[in-house]
Each structure stands twice: as structure tokens, then as C-alpha cells.
Structure 1
Amino acid sequence: MAKPIGHFTSCTINDGSLLDSLQQEYGSGFELMTRREKLYLIQAIAIQLCDQSPGQCREEIYVVGHQINSSLPLHDREGLLEALINQIRWSNSPSA
């Protein structure tokens, strides 16, 4: 079973926040969302965070993205997504 959203965020039950409302609508682990809906939310959040992040991507990173999507099996792409999220969230790097 997936951990509740509150495990990853500052959301607490009945705090009246957007996250609390989403938990009530879709379950504490978003179990009432489809896989596609969850992936859409990941994409929407990532695009917005990328747009707000300073700097530019090196051209080679676009190639790497294509290679990842065309060559890696599903479980490795999911694992890489998890690893990248973890690195972004917990990195002490000033350029993160």
C-alpha cells in the first residue's frame, strides 16, 4: 500500500488545505486516481518547477531524455523518476 500524501507533504487531516481536499476526494494515497492521472500530475508539476528553475538545459540532456524513453524498460524509467525526484528534493547542491 502506498504511503499517505501527508507522509511526503505538510498536509494533515482536516487542515482545510488543497492537499487535504485532494486526499478526501481521491484517497490518502491517491488510490482513486488512475495511473495516467497520477502521471499527468507529475508532468504538470515537473513542467512548472522546470520553468521556475534558473538556467538552461544543455543540448545533450534532450538527447539523454530521448535515449531514456526509447531504450530503458518501464521499471527502470520509473526507478529513474523516483531517483531524480529524491535527488531534487534532498539535494544540497546550490544549482539544484
Structure 2
Amino acid sequence: MVEEIFTDLAPLAEKNNIALESTGDAVMTGSDTLIYRLLYNLTENAIRYNRFDGTVNITVTHKDNQLVITVADTGYGIPEQYRESIFQPFFRVDKS
């Protein structure tokens, strides 16, 4: 599924010269639609708010009988004063 998401988001990534990388091969059972939407949204944001020539990496691993999915990027991050607010519906950090 990660490769499918990378394919779907490749035009956006190429526009900003963002490298898409993945590691791991763990399997998860659940709603394909919901899992796809979750990973797509996180990956799209990681691309959209990254720096030019950046990287997005999705890692899927097993740890203590749990599946761990990590989406990491080389973007500038969210300023500390906004980190709690990002969980509010419709909140966005000022793009400047």
C-alpha cells in the first residue's frame, strides 16, 4: 500500500524534488480504505510542507507484538507553541 501511495503522490513529490523512501514489510489487517486515507494524508502533508530537495520516509515495523508505522520528513517541523493545537479540527499553522 505504501508503494501505491508513493505512486499516487509522485507528481507532487517530483514538483518539489522530494525523495520518497520506505522500509519494512509488516502486514496489518483492517479497512484498506481507512488505512490508505491515513497514510495518504500523512504522506501528502509530509511532501507538501517539506523543503525543496527533501525526503519522506515511511517505516513499517513490528515492536512488542504491535505494528508501528512512522512517517518522517526533512521539513521544518511545527513550532513548539502550535504542537498542541494541531489536534484541533481545521487548525493550520501559519505558512509564513
TM-score with structure 2 setting the length: 0.30
Structure with higher strand content: 2
Of Structure 1 and Structure 2, the greater helix share is in 1
TM-score w.r.t. length of structure 1: 0.30
